[in-house]
Amino acid sequence: MPISQDKYNKLDEVIAANKGQKGAVMRTLQAAQDIFGHVPKDVQIRIAEGLGTTLSDVYGVATFYSQFALEPRGEYIIGVCLGTACYVKGSKNVLERVCKELDTKVGKTTKDGLFTIKDTRCLGACGLAPVMMINDDVYGRLTPDKIPDILNKYKTAQ
Amino acid sequence: MDLFRSTILVCGGTGCTSSGSMKLYSRFEELLAANGLEKEVKLVRTGCFGLCAAGPVVIVYPEGAFYSHVKLEDIDEIVSEHLVKGRVVTRLLFKDADQAANEIKPLDDINFYQKQKRVVLRNCGVIDPENIDEYIAFDGYKALAKVLTEMTPQQVQEEILASGLRGRGGAGFPTGLKWKFAMGSKGKKYVCCNADEGDPGAFMDRSVLEGDPHAVLEAMAIAGYCIGSDEGYIYVRAEYPIAVKRLEIAIEQAHEYGLLGENIFGTGFNFDIHIRLGAGAFVCGEETALMNSIEGKRGEPRPRPPFPAVKGLFEKPSILNNVETYANIAQIILKGADWFKSMGTEKSTGTKIFALGGKINNSGLVEIPMGTTLREIIYDIGGGCPNGKAFKAVQTGGPSGGCLPASMLDTPIDYDNLIAAGSMMGSGGMIVMDEDNCMVDIARFFLDFTVDESCGKCTPCRVGTRRMLDILNRICEGKGEDGDIERLEDLASSIKASALCGLGQTAPNPVLSTIKQFRSEYEAHIYEKRCPAGVCKNLMKYVIDPEKCKGCTACARKCPAGAISGEVKKPHSIDTTKCIKCGVCMDTCKFGAISKK
């Protein structure tokens, strides 16, 4: 799917606003990810050229932080918390079940482009452990058996 | 000001929001309007109450009725019974272990709160964090006024130093000393706030930012006056959207009131604060890495010296303190160093917030005076382990800390005692583990985390932690060899001595402390090829007790691998060559006939 010109125009606005500012690379990348959903190579090149820096600089930052995705991600991003509190309460089994139900590995996107599975750092909702997030929705006190119903809600929403 | 006969506090912390408290808030709004009560009953969305395990939580004053596990359909009853007719809905009240059915226990008398001392969290769960007037009503910005009009920067620094306040981010460096070093430098300076709370299992900074954001802004302005800076940065995790939003609102409101910006209180003092979002890198909690990240670069640590007090953010002298540290500052200024020193122990003054989680009944945030024992926190406040399981260990200090066994439960908690015990304060995560947790697996878990988060700049951390993880993976897979424990200890001491930053230097701690306290578990894995807790899948098997098995076939039908066979009404058995050790059979069996060995 070609990325629309509209998105590139938005990116150019962000680049113009950040050019010459302190810490511009990271903020521009964050904004670019909001616009495109991920930061592919041509977006990185555009940022580097626009900000007057090198591609290696931009690529270095984009690959350093786990927030930035270089590949397209699914419509729903599932983040299963692997913080300590969740881990000791069995979040590994929850993650395994999510992978099994969707037949996809951690870090990958389902073939239909609907879900991307991630193991995340502590989400800070330890009181509800084990926890996972699907986009902005938080699901707590999980057991592997609750997973199919939760996933179905998103599948049927299509 | 309007007068209300009742006030409803709805917890808007992360735990309760995740369990749907904002829907409760909207429902209250609807029903108050429908009953014409908007002018009589005040509805407030607060920060975290701390007792996340009981969420979503609602408190109604003046009665102090503490409603827990509130569901959307309960709101009608609370409004029609409690607010219209004045009858407390006793069935929804939080039940303490020793509480009579209809008794309304004041919040402070609930066991969870009784031993706590809420200094940093004083406003969390009390005020509306999105309304600066409420913060001001609780003495907010009074300390800033005091330092700007009555104190010299020197006096501010001396007061903070005299209070004995030490950095709450983990290492425990005296805050007053840090400020003093920065005062000595000249020219443009920066005040930074570390809100990149990365320790898994710690969420106190998040709760402070969400529940009392102005406390941090006020303290940063005080720090700015003290060291001679007019600009501050808050580096906060992008994963904390509520905290970011409330900080943005707070900064805007403080600007409107002239409490940030130019010529504050007409004294000629200028101070402004910017927010920078972290992008998911644990190492950015390290001070020099954090500064690199604010500058928009890769968050790799810099060699020290030069220390940030001399050359920090944008190569200018800078101080960096953690959220919880800042949240103490205004109160020290208002109430004095002696008041602060009256809490805690001689070398660790004041209080500390811990995020109590894992295998514990009352998980949540607790704030206790330093010197409280682990036993008091875990049993008196936390209510012990659920389901009658035996306590095994408590992990403090996150990936930099260690595990403390039951024999150390009576250790009073302070910076120095925890280090002596082979752990550390860290930012205050406190994860309880019971008999079902494998300590080798926990050590492996933390190493896995540090290997993943190592920035790769220095070899000891990049390669050394990877080697340690390889050995631990082998042990957990049943391929441990004689000498592995010694190899781990060897690598650990080299990494501790040679890594560039705090992340690498402390990364071996979880391994060392579990070897020290639970050596027998390592030995069982290596020499007997057995995981005593039944966690490491290669080292355990599921077995059916023929005495208890009724032959109901439920497990055989659920088994995804077809590993269970047997005739109806006769004992079944598991083919261990087919078994994938998922544990579904054990969860399915109603007769307790299946166990892990």
Here the CATH number for the domain that contains residue A144 is 3.40.30.10
Chain B, nearest residue to A93 by Cα: B582
With CB atoms and an 8 Å threshold, state whether A126 touches B355. Answer: yes
Residue B206, domain member (yes or no): yes
- Measured in degrees and rounded to the nearest 5, phi and psi for residue B234 equal -110, 120
Closest residue by Cα to residue B288 from B194, B221, B189: B194
With CB atoms and an 8 Å threshold, state whether B200 touches A87. Answer: yes
Residue B301, domain member (yes or no): yes
Span B512-538, average pLDDT: 94
Span B508-528, average pLDDT: 96
End-to-end, the C-alpha distance of chain A in Å comes to 19
CA B249-B250-B251 angle, to 5 degrees, is 95
Q: Which of B323, B341, B359 is the last residue of a domain?
A: B341
Q: What is the pLDDT of residue B240?
A: 85
With CB atoms and an 8 Å threshold, state whether B442 touches A122. Answer: no
Q: Which B-chain residues 503-542 have CB contacts (< 8 A) with chain A?
A: none
Amino acid at B532: P
Examine the domain organization and report whether A149 and A84 are in the same domain: yes
Confidence class for position B13, pLDDT limits 50, 70, 90: confident
Examine the domain organization and report whether A48 and A109 are in the same domain: no
With CB atoms and an 8 Å threshold, state whether A88 touches B17. Answer: no
Examine the domain organization and report whether B175 and B65 are in the same domain: no
Q: CA dist B517 to B18, B201, B403, B472, B487, Å?
A: 36, 21, 8, 16, 17
Examine the domain organization and report whether A53 and A107 are in the same domain: no
Examine the domain organization and report whether B155 and B295 are in the same domain: yes
Cis previous bond, B306, omega within 30: yes
CATH number of the structural domain spanning residue B96: 3.40.30.10
Residue B122, domain member (yes or no): no
Q: Which of B413, B434, B455 is the last residue of a domain?
A: B434
Q: Which of A64, A98, A113 is the last residue of a domain?
A: A64
Residues belonging to chain A = 158
Counting Cα atoms < 13 Å in the Cβ hemisphere of B69 gives: 10
Q: Is the pLDDT of residue B567 over 70?
A: yes
Examine the domain organization and report whether B281 and B376 are in the same domain: no
With CB atoms and an 8 Å threshold, state whether B359 touches A88. Answer: yes
Closest Cβ–Cβ partner in A27, A87, A89 for B445: A87
Residue B540 in contact with residue B534, Cβ under 8 Å? yes
Amino acid at B408: M
Secondary structure element (H or E) that encloses residue B404, with its range: strand B402-405
Span A135-155, average pLDDT: 91
Q: Which two tokens stand for residue B174?
A: 């005296």
The span from the CA of B590 to the CA of B594, in Å, is: 9
Q: What is the pLDDT of residue A2?
A: 58
Examine the domain organization and report whether A59 and A13 are in the same domain: yes
Q: Which residues of chain A are within 8 Å of residue B298 when distances are taken between CB atoms?
A: 60-61, 64
Domains in chain B, number = 5
Secondary structure element (H or E) that encloses residue B374, with its range: helix B374-375
Q: Are β-strands B231-237 and B41-46 bridged in parallel, bridged antiparallel, or unpaired?
A: unpaired
Is residue A152 helix, strand or coil? Answer: helix
> How is residue B407 annotated by DSSP?
G
Q: What share of chain B in percent tops pLDDT 90? A: 77
CATH number of the structural domain spanning residue B416: 3.10.20.600
Q: CA dist B138 to A61, B134, B265, B453, B574, Å?
A: 42, 7, 19, 40, 64
Q: Is the pLDDT of residue B384 over 70?
A: yes
Q: Is the pLDDT of residue A1 over 70?
A: no
Examine the domain organization and report whether B273 and B399 are in the same domain: no
Chain A interface includes B437 (CB < 8 A): yes
Residue B567, domain member (yes or no): yes
Residue B485, domain member (yes or no): yes
Examine the domain organization and report whether A32 and A58 are in the same domain: yes
With CB atoms and an 8 Å threshold, state whether B201 touches A60. Answer: no
With CB atoms and an 8 Å threshold, state whether B282 touches A131. Answer: no
Examine the domain organization and report whether B230 and B243 are in the same domain: yes
Examine the domain organization and report whether A54 and A93 are in the same domain: no
CA-based radius of gyration for chain B: 26
Chain A interface includes B42 (CB < 8 A): no
Examine the domain organization and report whether A105 and A39 are in the same domain: no
Examine the domain organization and report whether B300 and B271 are in the same domain: yes
Shortest alpha-carbon distance between residue B357 and chain A (Å) = 5
Span B570-574, average pLDDT: 92
Q: Are β-strands B190-195 and B318-322 bridged in parallel, bridged antiparallel, or unpaired?
A: parallel
- pLDDT tens per residue, range A73-121: 999 999 999 988 999 999 999 999 999 999 999 999 999 999 999 988 8
Examine the domain organization and report whether B139 and B216 are in the same domain: yes
- pLDDT tens per residue, range B274-289: 999 988 889 999 999 9
With CB atoms and an 8 Å threshold, state whether B19 touches A27. Answer: no
Chain A interface includes B198 (CB < 8 A): yes
With CB atoms and an 8 Å threshold, state whether B355 touches A60. Answer: no
Shortest alpha-carbon distance between residue B237 and chain A (Å) = 10
Average pLDDT of every residue of chain A: 91
Examine the domain organization and report whether A133 and A98 are in the same domain: yes
Q: Which residues of chain B are within 8 Å of residue A70 when distances are taken between CB atoms?
A: none
Residue B105 CB: number of other CB atoms within 10 A?
Answer: 20
Residue A5 CB: number of other CB atoms within 10 A?
Answer: 8
Examine the domain organization and report whether A54 and A86 are in the same domain: no
Q: Which residues of chain B are within 8 Å of residue A66 when distances are taken between CB atoms?
A: 279-281
**CA A131 to mean position of chain CA atoms:** 17
Chain A interface includes B203 (CB < 8 A): yes
The span from the CA of B593 to the CA of B374, in Å, is: 36
Examine the domain organization and report whether B203 and B153 are in the same domain: yes
Q: Is the pLDDT of residue B129 over 90?
A: yes
Average pLDDT of every residue of chain B: 93
The span from the CA of B56 to the CA of B21, in Å, is: 6
Domains in chain A, number = 2
Residue A69, domain member (yes or no): no
Confidence class for position B203, pLDDT limits 50, 70, 90: confident
Examine the domain organization and report whether A133 and A86 are in the same domain: yes
With CB atoms and an 8 Å threshold, state whether B298 touches A60. Answer: yes
The span from the CA of B98 to the CA of B89, in Å, is: 19
Which range of residues forms the domain containing residue B187?
132-341
The span from the CA of B219 to the CA of B237, in Å, is: 20
CATH number of the structural domain spanning residue B492: 1.20.1440.230
Residue A11, domain member (yes or no): yes
Examine the domain organization and report whether B336 and B383 are in the same domain: no
The residues, ordered by sequence, that sit 6+ positions from A2 with a Cβ below 8 Å of its Cβ are: none
Chain A interface includes B202 (CB < 8 A): yes
Confidence class for position B583, pLDDT limits 50, 70, 90: confident
Q: Which residues of chain B are within 8 Å of residue A87 when distances are taken between CB atoms?
A: 200, 445
What angle separates helix A41-51 from helix A55-64, to the nearest 10 degrees? 120
Chain B, nearest residue to A137 by Cα: B18
Examine the domain organization and report whether B96 and B144 are in the same domain: no
Residue B129 CB: number of other CB atoms within 10 A?
Answer: 32
Q: Name the maximum alpha-carbon separation found in chain B.
A: 88
Q: Is the pLDDT of residue B79 over 90?
A: yes
- pLDDT tens per residue, range B208-252: 999 999 999 999 999 999 999 999 999 998 888 889 999 999 999
Residue A71, domain member (yes or no): no
Q: Which two tokens stand for residue B191?
A: 């005040």
Q: What is the pLDDT of residue B202?
A: 85
Residue B142, domain member (yes or no): yes
- Chain A residues at the B interface, defined by Cβ less than 8 Å, are 22-27, 29-30, 60-61, 64-68, 82-85, 87-89, 93, 120-129, 131, 136, 138, 140, 145
Shortest alpha-carbon distance between residue A106 and chain B (Å) = 14
Q: What is the pLDDT of residue B154?
A: 97
Q: Which B-chain residues 252-291 have CB contacts (< 8 A) with chain A?
A: 276-282
Residue B116, domain member (yes or no): no
Chain A interface includes B27 (CB < 8 A): no
The span from the CA of A93 to the CA of B413, in Å, is: 33
Span B570-593, average pLDDT: 88
The residues, ordered by sequence, that sit 6+ positions from B527 with a Cβ below 8 Å of its Cβ are: B480, B482
With CB atoms and an 8 Å threshold, state whether B437 touches A138. Answer: no
Residue A139, domain member (yes or no): yes
Q: Which residues of chain A are within 8 Å of residue B240 when distances are taken between CB atoms?
A: 124
Q: What is the pLDDT of residue A142?
A: 93
Examine the domain organization and report whether A111 and A89 are in the same domain: yes
With CB atoms and an 8 Å threshold, state whether B202 touches A122. Answer: yes
Chain A interface includes B454 (CB < 8 A): no
Q: Is the pLDDT of residue B1 over 70?
A: no
Examine the domain organization and report whether B58 and B188 are in the same domain: no
With CB atoms and an 8 Å threshold, state whether A67 touches B280. Answer: yes
- Which position has the higher pLDDT, B109 or B384? B384
Best probe of the A interface among B23, B48, B196, B203, by most A CBs < 10 A, is B203
Which range of residues forms the domain containing residue A107?
76-156
Best probe of the B interface among A14, A64, A91, A97, by most B CBs < 10 A, is A64
Closest Cβ–Cβ partner in B357, B359, B445 for A127: B357
With CB atoms and an 8 Å threshold, state whether B363 touches A127. Answer: yes
Which of A152-156, B82-86, B386-390, B470-474 reaches the highest mean pLDDT? Answer: B470-474
Q: What is the pLDDT of residue B596?
A: 82
Examine the domain organization and report whether B139 and B271 are in the same domain: yes
Residue B120, domain member (yes or no): no
What angle separates helix B175-183 from helix B213-227, to the nearest 10 degrees? 40
Examine the domain organization and report whether A81 and A151 are in the same domain: yes
Chain A, nearest residue to B360 by Cα: A127
Counting Cα atoms < 13 Å in the Cβ hemisphere of B41 gives: 24
Closest Cβ–Cβ partner in B202, B280, B363 for A66: B280
User: In sequence order, what are the beta bridge partners of B595?
Assistant: B543
Secondary structure element (H or E) that encloses residue B31, with its range: helix B21-34
Shortest alpha-carbon distance between residue A98 and chain B (Å) = 14
Q: Which of B403, B434, B465 is the last residue of a domain?
A: B434
ipTM of the complex: 0.87
The span from the CA of B24 to the CA of B524, in Å, is: 51
Q: Which two tokens stand for residue B133?
A: 């007037």
The span from the CA of B61 to the CA of B39, in Å, is: 15
Shortest alpha-carbon distance between residue A86 and chain B (Å) = 7
Is residue B151 helix, strand or coil? Answer: coil
Q: Which two tokens stand for residue B444?
A: 């492996």
The span from the CA of B400 to the CA of B386, in Å, is: 27
Q: What is the pLDDT of residue A21?
A: 87
